[in-house]
Amino acid sequence: MRKTKIICTLGPATDSPEMLARLIAAGANVFRLNMSHGTHEWVRAVVPRIREVARQTSANIAIMMDTQGPAIRTGDVATNLDLHPGDVVEFTVRGAKSEEHYSVDVNYDGLIDDIHEGDVVMVDNGNIHMKVLAKKENRVQCEVLTRGVLGSRRHINLPGVKVNLPPMTEKDLKDIVVGVEMEVDYFALSFCRERSDVDAMRAELRRLGSDAHIIAKIEDQHAVKHVKEIIDAADAVMVARGDLGIECPMEELPIIQRRIVKICLQVGKPVIVATHMLESMITNPLPTRAEITDVANAVYEQADAIMLSGETSVGKYPAQCVETFDRVARRIERSGGAGFASEAVIDGLRQKTVAAAVSLANNFPHAKMVVFTFHGSMALYVSHLRPLHAPIFAFSPDERVCRRLALLYGVHAQRMGFVAEPDKNVFAAETALLLKGLAESGDHLVVVTDILDGDRKHESVQLRIVP
């Protein structure tokens, strides 16, 4: 069974019931709603559609709402600007007027305060490079360094510049209200820069009565500097390589990715590798060899999940992209992994009990791990230690917990009501696995469960053989 989870971004190419079913059949585990493009009406329509298709296909699917975040963007231009090296472009804020031939307004009033002469400005996802020449009142003059065409509402990156944007915009707050209303399982915090940003989103979710989990997106240099604190505060982390690859020197990107994955595996936080993984398949039926190697590296590092963006939201071959992820992941998983989990920090009685269970399972080549969990913590602990061979079958009475577990490496969650007698729960789990063809007579099951001793509850590890 594949351990690495697959996240698919939904869009016009994939939000129909038929395409959702195809993506699930191909191996999708999590569907991402990108609020840089999605509307509230679309969210209210597509979330019930996902839930219904998941029910019909008996699939455990999580939904992630990805906030747009406090992005700096250019305003509208009457006609696209054909820029050449040496041209001067003036960015204006607060309604300032410019007499330059090439001028465009910017949505961030603090640009004037944050930027300085000599700073580099990257526009349109890094396609156009500029250098700041001067600041004049509410205008910033920049020299064009590389040729490009500047259209409306293009993203601006300021490598090395600490911007003073809020962690969430008014749009983000409105989107979060809709996400809570529709009970999405994860909220991704775009352009997270420090721990306080995660805390701010957590406070907002609690104010709205939501216990949804937060994925902190690491996508600029400031976040990289504070990555340990961010990882500690978040429920999961995404290495968002699109903006990160612009904000940081390109040769540093693989090192940053590996460092973040390694830290997450050490402390037990789910981690996602995202962006440009199969970019060529937006228009082509086959990936490049370099893309295959990139996906293989993320799987070898044992990231919890790998993510598709434009490949599945607007691409021509969305199901084929998922199938490609699935094929590569299965093959690389059979060849072993980087072993970062061997340095995992194990604290507390429960985690040490789980470590003993994983060690036991690693001694049986065809073992399965069975975990009973109310809140998902025990399943997270098992996944954290990356069992060598055993799939992790998690049973929980809470459907929301099961959906959240869809993101975790190696975890296959199923809803099941619990009774007071642990043996009856184990028997029910064995029966469910047998009926689904996930276990057969003679298999070793390493069971992590609770034993009741009067009013006291003890975690236990049991080795059972399927009858």
Instruction: Tell whether 80 and 101 lie within a shared domain.
Output: yes
Taking 80 as the threshold, does the pLDDT of residue 453 lie above it?
Answer: no
Confidence of residue 116 (pLDDT cuts 50, 70, 90): very high
pLDDT of residue 137: 87
> Containing domain of residue 242, as a range?
5-70+167-333
Q: 380-400, pLDDT tens digit by residue?
A: 999 999 999 999 999 999 999
Q: 133-171, pLDDT tens digit by residue?
A: 999 889 999 999 999 999 998 999 999 888 888 999 999
Taking 70 as the threshold, does the pLDDT of residue 451 lie above it?
Answer: no
Q: In sequence order, what are the beta bridge partners of 32? A: 9, 64
d(CA 350, CA 378): 8
Q: Which of 283, 312, 333 is the last residue of a domain?
A: 333
Nearest to 6 by CA among 27, 32, 33, 23: 27
pLDDT of residue 449: 85
pLDDT of residue 125: 85
Q: Which of 114, 132, 157 is the last residue of a domain?
A: 157
Q: Is residue 396 part of a domain?
A: yes
Confidence of residue 458 (pLDDT cuts 50, 70, 90): confident
pLDDT of residue 452: 58
What pTM value is reported for the model?
0.94
Instruction: Tell whether 276 and 327 lie within a shared domain.
Output: yes
Q: Can you give the CATH number for the domain in which 144 is found?
A: 2.40.33.10
Instruction: Tell whether 42 and 135 lie within a shared domain.
Output: no
Q: Is residue 183 part of a domain?
A: yes
Instruction: Tell whether 173 and 295 lie within a shared domain.
Output: yes
Instruction: Tell whether 78 and 64 lie within a shared domain.
Output: no
Taking 80 as the threshold, does the pLDDT of residue 457 lie above it?
Answer: no
Q: 178-204, pLDDT tens digit by residue?
A: 999 999 999 999 999 999 999 999 999
The mean pLDDT value of the chain amounts to 95
**Catalytic residues, which ones?**
32, 73, 217, 275
Number of domains in the chain: 3
Q: Which of 302, 333, 364 is the last residue of a domain?
A: 333
